[in-house]
Amino acid sequence: TYVGKLNAAVKLENKSVLRTEIEQKLKQVFDPRGVFQ
C-alpha cells in the first residue's frame, strides 16, 4: 500500500539519520582532531 511504502521510507530515513549521528559521535571519540577525514 501507499501508506506502507511511506512508513518504510520514513523508517529508512530515520535509520540513515541515526547512523550518520552515530558515525559523527564515533569520529569525535576516536578522531577528535579530524585526522581521518
Task: Dump pLDDT digits (tens) for 1-37.
Answer: 888 998 888 898 889 999 999 999 998 888 778 776 5
pLDDT at residue 12, rounded to an integer: 87
Distance, in Å, from the CA atom of 14 to the CA atom of 11, rounded to the nearest integer, reads 5
Which grid coordinates belong to 26?
A: 564515533
pLDDT at 36: 65
* CA distance linking residue 24 with residue 18, whole number of Å: 10
Predicted confidence at residue 19, as pLDDT, reads 93
